[in-house]
């Protein structure tokens, strides 16, 4: 009996040791699992904070652009107002905050030269910084001359330069450009001795050496192809004018002081005088005889003509369209898809802008142009100079044209753990780091079409 008892005692002791070993192993395994779970939870929380910081930084950037576009829509009252700092704004439904700084002093400065936005997002111990160069997508008249599909031909000796009718000639920071969507050989022909004081741009994937024929001309800027085809939307007449009753064809000299819709204009002689802020929709054609003129009264500070044209615009030699205000923004002609020809037969001076994407724009005589031209083609019949008015970039775009501030270049900093420094100290540091990140910006561009002045 004693021998059996001892054997059972030894077996019980072995079982107890085994239970203890298993218990210890389970405790170690359990603690390991708890530690892994805790580490995973901490990692998930840190990752969530980092992602939230990134989202907040991106949101701050978009909100800054929205603020700029809001001011753009209310430019009459907010052009010169300084941009405010935005510091530690709570992102809705989140613990993250964003702060942003628009580096331009005012909307006016941003319109002229673009700006940089620095946006900082914070969540927990993480901070993300996003930087973007932002420029306005200009209205229809981003180019001095632009043709949609056909040729752009300048006569020998022609000089193309720029001025600013709003600032007595200052064009600093805004390059002049001629361009076409065409990629055909010699689509742009610039005659011997002609001078283009700016860039010449050809259609997407086109070869500038092939598309541009200018062996004996001078181009002071660059020649290059667009990053994508430029959209040239069709003209749409505002409903407030399109739905008006149609008045009979104008056949006799008259004075127009208010907006209206007309069947056509056929004037053999005399003056059609614009003496007020007039928007005019001509359903058919405008034909001016040898002694006929359309003129804008310079003595009326509010006189201007915005012309929507359903048919062709033709003049006989001697007929003129005189913008006596000498401000191109106060004479703008928009040709609908049914307008296929805009022809100027008389030499002299023309102050105005023409946007007729389906029309051939023909200047038959030595007509010196101050303004901008967009058409299916542009042809000079005689040597005459062209002066692009860069103030057209800042003019309110028509309703059919979508215009606003857009990102042209974007780059970001790395996420870092921070002790949540004050936003007022953090943002200037981020702004000062912009020159150091210029090389990085060049390799992290967004897939967007740059407006001409951004290239």
Compute φ and ψ for 367, nearest 5 degrees: -105, 115
Q: What is the pLDDT of residue 170?
A: 58
Poorest-pLDDT segment among 31-40, 82-91, 287-296, 300-309? 31-40
Most confident of the following: 109-118, 164-173, 276-285: 276-285
Poorest-pLDDT segment among 11-20, 25-34, 155-164, 344-353? 11-20
Tokens 């001409």, residue located: 452
Nearest to 238 by CA among 128, 397, 111: 397
Domain boundaries of the chain, sorted by first residue = 44-138+403-454, 145-393
SS3 230: coil
pLDDT surpasses 90 at 49: no
Q: How many CB atoms lie within 10 A of CB 47?
A: 11
Average pLDDT over the chain, rounded to an integer: 83
What's the mean pLDDT in 326-337? 96
Largest interatomic CA distance in the chain: 143
Nearest to 357 by CA among 345, 369, 331, 375: 375
What's the mean pLDDT in 127-148? 89
Q: What is the pLDDT of residue 160?
A: 95
What's the mean pLDDT in 303-320? 95
Q: What is the pLDDT of residue 437?
A: 35
pLDDT surpasses 90 at 185: yes
Span 417-443, pLDDT tens digits: 433 334 334 444 434 433 333 333 333
Q: What is the pLDDT of residue 440?
A: 38
Please state, in angstroms and rounded to a whole number, the distance separating the CA atoms of residues 441 and 445.
7
Q: What is the pLDDT of residue 257?
A: 96
- Residue predicted with more confidence, 349 or 171: 349
Question: What CA–CA distances, in Å, run from 152 to 186, 198, 416, 443, 447?
Answer: 9, 15, 53, 34, 28
**Torsion on CA atoms 190, 192, 194, 200, rounded to nearest 10:** 30
Poorest-pLDDT segment among 108-122, 298-312, 398-412, 426-440? 426-440
Q: For residue 147, give both structure tokens.
A: 């043709």
Q: What is the pLDDT of residue 423?
A: 36
Please state, in angstroms and rounded to a whole number, the distance separating the CA atoms of residues 381 and 153.
9
β-sheet bridge partners, residue 323? 296
pLDDT surpasses 50 at 75: yes
Q: What is the pLDDT of residue 251?
A: 96
Poorest-pLDDT segment among 83-92, 217-226, 332-341, 407-416? 407-416
Question: What CA–CA distances, in Å, run from 341 to 85, 120, 336, 359, 376?
Answer: 50, 52, 11, 5, 9
Which stretches of 74-182 are DSSP H helices? 75-78, 107-113
pLDDT surpasses 60 at 346: yes
β-sheet bridge partners, residue 451? none
Span 200-210, pLDDT tens digits: 999 999 999 99
pLDDT surpasses 80 at 127: yes
Poorest-pLDDT segment among 127-141, 221-235, 249-263, 334-348? 127-141
pLDDT surpasses 70 at 382: yes
What's the mean pLDDT in 122-133? 91
What's the mean pLDDT in 267-295? 96
Q: What is the pLDDT of residue 3?
A: 55
Please state, in angstroms and rounded to a whole number, the distance separating the CA atoms of residues 381 and 141.
23
pLDDT surpasses 70 at 309: yes
Residue pair 182/203 in contact by the 8 Å Cβ criterion: yes
Enumerate residues 6+ apart whose C-beta is below 8 A from 106: 79, 80, 81, 82, 83
Measured between its terminal Cα atoms, the distance across the chain in Å is 103
Please state, in angstroms and rounded to a whole number, the distance separating the CA atoms of residues 449 and 451.
7
Q: What is the pLDDT of residue 171?
A: 58
Nearest to 303 by CA among 271, 259, 336: 259
Most confident of the following: 245-254, 417-426, 442-451: 245-254
Q: For residue 159, give both structure tokens.
A: 């000089």
What's the mean pLDDT in 258-268? 96
Span 351-375, pLDDT tens digits: 999 999 999 999 988 999 999 999 9
Please state, in angstroms and rounded to a whole number, the distance separating the CA atoms of residues 270 and 251.
10
Q: What is the pLDDT of residue 441?
A: 34
- Residue predicted with more confidence, 343 or 36: 343
Q: Kindly state the DSSP code that residue 338 receives in the 8-state scheme.
A: T
């Amino acid at each position: 009996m004693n021998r059996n008892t001892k054997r059972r005692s030894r077996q019980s002791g072995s079982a107890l040791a085994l239970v203890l070993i298993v218990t210890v192993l389970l405790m170690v395994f359990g603690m390991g699992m708890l530690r892994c779970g805790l580490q995973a939870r901490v990692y998930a929380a840190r990752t969530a904070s980092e992602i939230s910081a990134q989202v907040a930084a991106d949101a701050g950037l978009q909100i800054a652009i929205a603020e700029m576009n809001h001011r753009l829509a209310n430019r009459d009252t907010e052009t010169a107002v300084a941009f405010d700092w935005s510091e530690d704004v709570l992102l809705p439904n989140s613990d993250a905050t964003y702060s942003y700084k628009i580096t331009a002093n005012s909307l006016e400065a941003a319109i002229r030269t673009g700006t940089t936005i620095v946006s900082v997002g914070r969540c927990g111990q993480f901070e993300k910084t996003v930087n973007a160069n932002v420029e306005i997508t200009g209205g229809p008249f981003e180019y001095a001359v632009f043709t949609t599909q056909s040729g752009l031909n300048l006569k020998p000796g022609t000089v193309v330069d720029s001025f600013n009718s709003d600032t007595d000639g200052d064009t600093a920071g805004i390059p002049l450009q001629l361009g076409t969507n065409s990629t055909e050989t010699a689509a742009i022909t610039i005659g011997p001795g002609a001078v283009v004081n700016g860039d010449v741009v050809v259609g997407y994937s086109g070869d500038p050496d092939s598309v541009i024929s200018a062996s004996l001309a001078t181009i002071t800027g660059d020649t290059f192809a667009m990053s994508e085809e430029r959209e040239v939307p069709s003209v749409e007449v505002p409903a407030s004018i399109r739905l008006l009753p149609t008045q009979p064809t104008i056949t006799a000299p008259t004075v127009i002081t208010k907006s209206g819709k007309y069947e056509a204009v056929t004037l053999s002689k005399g003056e059609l005088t614009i003496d007020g802020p007039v928007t005019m929709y001509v359903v058919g054609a405008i034909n001016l005889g040898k002694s006929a003129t359309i003129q804008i009264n310079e003595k009326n500070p509010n006189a201007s003509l915005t012309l929507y044209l359903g048919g062709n615009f033709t003049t006989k030699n001697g007929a003129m369209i005189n913008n006596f205000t000498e401000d191109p923004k106060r004479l703008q002609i928009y040709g609908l898809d049914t307008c296929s020809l805009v022809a100027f037969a008389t030499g002299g001076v023309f102050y105005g802008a023409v946007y007729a994407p389906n029309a051939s724009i023909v200047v038959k005589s030595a007509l010196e142009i101050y303004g901008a031209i967009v058409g299916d083609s542009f042809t000079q019949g005689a040597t005459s100079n062209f002066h692009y008015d860069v103030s057209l970039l800042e003019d309110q775009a028509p309703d059919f044209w979508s215009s606003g501030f857009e990102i042209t270049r974007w780059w970001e900093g790395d996420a870092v753990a921070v002790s949540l420094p004050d936003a007022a100290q953090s943002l200037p540091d981020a702004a000062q780091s912009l020159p150091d990140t210029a090389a990085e910006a060049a390799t992290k561009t967004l897939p967007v079409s740059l407006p001409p002045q951004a290239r």
